[in-house]
Structure 1
Amino acid sequence: MGILTLGNRYLPRHRLRMLHALQPPVAAQIDVKFVLCNLSRDDEKTLVALEVMLYDDILILNCKENMNGGKTYSFFSSLPGLFGGGANGSGRPYDFVMKTDDDTIFMFPKLVESLRIQPREDLYWGHLVPAANGLPLFMAGMGYVLSWDLVEWIASSETVKNHTVGPEDTVVGEWLRDGGRGKNVRSTRAPHLNFDTKPVSYDYPYPPYTFVPNTISVHRLKDDDKLAETLRYFNVTAGFKPSKFYHL
């Protein structure tokens, strides 16, 4: 899971680390990396170094920080070189790679439940935005998954390398369309996943929309109040224990 973030976004990373640590156990290995481009500020270099020393979950790419200027390409294309062919140089290191943002939270059990039944080849999974107005179908940038073979293809494709600028989620859809890849399209908006016709990966819901019980992810949680409301709905603090040392 690659979470695209910025050097100075220490608090969002801290929040996500806490939430990930408190997730129920799952029968899958989920490795999380916070993905940054080159750091230019001395304060960020020092403070991010502390994060690396403590958590070892930072990936710094050789690129200039950007949102739609090729960072997503830099992320995907770097992975085969960073992780090689898996243990002892054989096999593949991961079945899937996810790109997401630091204002999105995932419910790991529901994520694993969805991905467990997916094909391990040519997979393009996420919140599907249908093709329209000359754009291909694509998965919304809140969080989408590619199978490892597609990541290897991205890293080796000259066509992809020459088309990296633009809205990052639509650009990925264009790569797959133009390369004839990603034929196993799996949408979290599929009827068998939806709850009472409502998507299970979605932006923070303003009325009349609401959270749904079998949610996989919620996006646009930059504000403390929105994040706290989301966590209350999913009862994330259920394990909180009373003590004479504090009261809430």
Structure 2
Amino acid sequence: MKQRWVIRQPPSLALPSLVLLLLFFFYILFNIRVKSLLLASPANHSITPTKTPHTETKFSILIGILTLPDNYDRRHLLRLVYGIQSSSTAQIDVKFVFCNLTKPEQRALVALEILRFNDIIVLDCVENMNNGKTHAYFSSLPRILPRHYDYVMKADDDVFIRLEPLSSSLKPLPRQDLYYGFVIPCNSMNPFVDYMSGMGFLLSWDLVEWIGMSEIPANHTFGPEDKMVGKWLKMGNKAKNRFSNKPGMYDYPGTNGRCSHELIPETVAVHRLKRQGSMAACA
């Protein structure tokens, strides 16, 4: 009589098989339950996505700080000053602006800065203060920038700008035909009386484009740069929307008579910060 051999599965293998069988069983029950719930739902059987809070689109500002190629230390200080700031209402880019480089060491060191920080604009002009640099700055932007901004600001390298108060003050203002800054003379509150101080003034993008196309600015570039911008706008019948941010913009205490006062919480910009210590006091 032949002997039968019965192969028995070891208990260690039978237990995992049982677990897999139970998991498969629960999977089937779960799918049946889900399908029954869907069939019992309203006829459209649609799932409404959760509504996310509406995020307001930020407007954009370019701040161009007109400086000199050799002012390396000042640029590094300002990078620290603006690098720790942000704005909840505006997307703000800060760039350093100067004319053509004339020294070998400038070409080498500025090239390294551009590679590291990408925050420098080199204009095709001879370095100057009151002979066309501001015109070269504004008129070049529509041609050299890959995008446009809602506002473009020109600022000195001895001014400290607080980005959040700046953007908050701009938020309710028009995006077209706007001229914003600190009106001169110092004791005036009328933004139409003359021109905005060169410490830091801002133009809407349409005015930047106009400066690049109009012969009025191109034919009137010699003279105090802030005064010339006011003259351009007056001759062209531009900047019908004007805003002088006083007392939020001012000269550092004790530096310039009526244009200066004590530091205040609502500060937007402080001018004439020639020493690093005064810059630190504002920051």
Code of the residue aligned with 2:248 in structure 1: it is: V
CA distance in 2, matches of 1:121, 1:201: 22
Partner of 1:155: 212
Check conservation: 2:179, 2:203, Cα contact below 8 A.
yes
Structure 2 gaps of 5+ residues are 1-62
CA distance in 2, matches of 1:27, 1:15: 25
Partner of 1:105: 160
Code of the residue aligned with 1:205 in structure 2: it is: P
Code of the residue aligned with 1:177 in structure 2: it is: K
CA distance in 1, matches of 2:99, 2:154: 15
Partner of 1:214: 266
Per-residue deviation, residues 113-165 of structure 1 (Å, max 9, x unmatched) = 01111101100000011599xx9610000100000000000000112101011
| Alignment RMSD (CA, Å) | 1.9
CA distance in 2, matches of 1:226, 1:177: 35
SS of 1:3 mapped into structure 2: strand
CA distance in 2, matches of 1:42, 1:160: 33
CA distance in 2, matches of 1:170, 1:153: 17
CA distance in 1, matches of 2:140, 2:86: 30
- After TM superposition, give the deviation of residue 57 of structure 1 in Å: 0.5
SS of 2:92 mapped into structure 1: coil
Code of the residue aligned with 1:48 in structure 2: it is: V
Partner of 1:205: 253
Indicate which of 124, 130, 133 corresponds to 2:179: 124
Indicate which of 98, 101, 110 corresponds to 1:48: 110
| Residues 1:137 and 2:194 aligned together | yes
- After TM superposition, give the deviation of residue 70 of structure 1 in Å: 0.3
Identity of aligned residues (%): 49
Q: How many residues align?
A: 213
Partner of 2:236: 179
Check conservation: 2:250, 2:271, Cα contact below 8 A.
yes
Partner of 1:236: none
CA distance in 1, matches of 2:278, 2:65: 19
Which of the pair is proportionally richer in helix? 2
CA distance in 2, matches of 1:130, 1:120: 25
Check conservation: 2:181, 2:200, Cα contact below 8 A.
yes
Per-residue deviation, residues 149-203 of structure 1 (Å, max 9, x unmatched) = 00000000112101011000000000000000011011102xxxxxxxxx11111
- After TM superposition, give the deviation of residue 225 of structure 1 in Å: 2.4
4+ runs of 1 displaced by more than 6 Å? Answer: none
Larger Rg: 2
SS of 1:181 mapped into structure 2: coil
Structure 1 gaps of 5+ residues are 87-92, 190-198, 232-248
Partner of 1:33: 95
TM-score, L = length of structure 2: 0.72
